[in-house]
Structure 1
């Protein structure tokens, strides 16, 4: 008796035509964030630095991201893979510092990206302050 399973959406699209979500984090304490969906990315050639610059360009040119223009975004960190478990913290995963993408020359594929990966984009200094005292405000 063999069971057939539907393929996972993360494997349906090739790595040369992926969709990823960039979680723009303005405030950790107030959980202010907005998702930016980027389509048609080639994970085999797009680098961490390219992704950071693409997201920054979208923030500056698209009106939907106007409230995020005053944030100095400088860091990317993996948040979750498609069909993977998520952290209990709604704004960012505070563990797994090794998921911070610190090498701007690495391709997204080398960093483990697949279709439907979510990555957080934030200011590193604000993140470090929040990690020291992860209190949420209202």
Structure 2
């Protein structure tokens, strides 16, 4: 520790049983419409991908400010970035690394390599594939 600042990276400073995750809920790829949902005290060793989807869907359906997102079919999670990791140049989603899609609902987040401060995108897979084929944004036009 130097001058009251810890040398431990933030992704390792919190145990895997009490992690903070950011879920980037994507409504539109073309218009870059997304809103971040911050989830605290998530046990990465016990929480499954399916449970994370359910937690995020519940928050979207019940928390204030999420009304515009309630009609989106959210069915897919994909790793966006880990703390202190490289971020994609695409501001809405990481279009590379198809293996970063969390395809097995029964696997725990720890099995997918989640750490404290991991960011994950939550979106509609069909809309993602359409955007991947033609990654053009409309809000700039």
TM-score norm. by structure 1 comes to 0.96
| Residue number in structure 2 paired with 1:25 | 26
Give per-residue Cα distances to partners, 1:80-107, cap 9 Å, x unaligned. Answer: 0000000000000101000000000000
- Partners of 2:17 and 2:8 lie apart in 1 by 18
- Give the Cα separation in 2 of the matches to 1:64 and 1:19: 21
Write the distance in 1 (CA, Å) between the matches of 2:94 and 2:16: 25
Whole-angstrom CA distance in 2 between matches of 1:65 and 1:106: 27
Distance 1:121 1:81 in 2: 15
User: Who is 2:131 aligned against?
Assistant: 130
Over the aligned positions, Cα root-mean-square deviation in angstroms equals 1.1
Equivalent residue number for residue 118 of structure 2: 117
Instruction: Give the aligned partner of residue 77 of structure 1.
Output: 78
Stretches of structure 2 lacking an aligned partner (at least 5 in a row): 1-5
Structure 1 segments, 4+ long, off by >3 Å, are none
Whole-Å separation in 1 of the counterparts to 2:11 and 2:67: 30
**Number of the residue aligned with 2:3:** none
Calculate the TM-score normalised by the size of structure 2. 0.94
Distance in structure 1 (CA, Å) of the matches to 2:63 and 2:75? 19
Please list every run of 5 or more consecutive structure 1 residues that lacks an aligned counterpart in the other structure: none
> Take 1:82 and 1:64, find their aligned partners in 2: how far apart are those partners?
26
